[in-house]
Amino acid sequence: MDPALIAALAGARHVVMLTGSGTSAESGIPTFRDAQTGLWAQYRPEDLATPEAFERNPRLVWDWYACRRELVEAARPNAGHDAIAELDGLLHRFTLITQNVDGLHQRAGSPTVIEFHGNIMRSRCTAGHPADTVDESGPRPPRCRRCGALLRPDVVWFDEAIPGDVLATATAAVDDCDVLFAVGTSAVVQPAAGLAAQAQRHGALLVEINPAPTPLTEAADFALTGPSGCMLPKLAAALRTRRQSCLT
């Protein structure tokens, strides 16, 4: 691990980390742009995760999310998620923003997670009511117990706005940070992808972790080329060692 990066992190006032679906790849959850398999091989996620797709065929979209929920339930956080949870205690101030809808950061123990694109384990009514209990035994999608409207996954679809409070909290953290990590994201979906440039505009360091190049790689101050389940534990170990040597 580059000692200059570890020194920068140890001295940082506020570190923000933006994660994408690559962070969950080593938990067996395919990334968004991976080809789908089985029944779903004929569809692209971009064609299912939209308000138009749900309007056209709500059952198809509901069933696709039900299948992804099963995958998430069977998955476990990987070493990358665990290291991120540890970073929270190793850094002066740490804010985690995730584009992932799988809840694996919370299951790994990250105390506060800004869920930029929602969470597939939650549902909500298309007329706006929260759905605390979902009856999966009847017609799909189930209907809202209060108003009878269809339920949908509580996620942000393509062409939908990020909820105002979520966007405000995330951008305030990015405006305040001195280091921004982009981990496991192809950095092509806005507005999340723009958070890196936003941080760099006010002088924050940009650190990328990804096995493949992205539109951010050239502009990154540090590009750690490799899977997050390998790079993040190394990073956490280097910070832990530095902390111990400062204490002794």
Which parts of this chain interact with ligand OAD (CB under 6 A)? 20-22, 25-26, 31-33, 49, 99, 117, 156, 158, 184-186, 189, 210-212, 214, 227-229
**Active-site residue flag, 117:** yes
Closer CB to ligand OAD, residue 141 or residue 229? 229
Closer CB to ligand OAD, residue 174 or residue 178? 174
CB of 174 to ligand OAD, least distance (A): 16
Token pair belonging to 63: 């069933």
- Quote the CA–CA distance of 237 and 135 in Å, as a whole number: 45
CB of 21 to ligand OAD, least distance (A): 4
Closer CB to ligand OAD, residue 58 or residue 211? 211
In sign, the C-alpha dihedral spanning 230, 242, 213, 120 is positive
Position of minimal CB gap to ligand OAD? 22
Decide: 112 and 33 in contact? Cβ < 8 Å. Answer: no
Closer CB to ligand OAD, residue 24 or residue 178? 24
CB of 50 to ligand OAD, least distance (A): 9
CB of 165 to ligand OAD, least distance (A): 17
- Quote the CA–CA distance of 105 and 89 in Å, as a whole number: 14
Token pair belonging to 61: 């979209």
Measured at the CA of 179, the angle between CA 235 and CA 177, to 5 degrees, comes to: 135
Which uninterrupted H or E stretch holds 245?
helix 228-247
Positions marked catalytic: 117
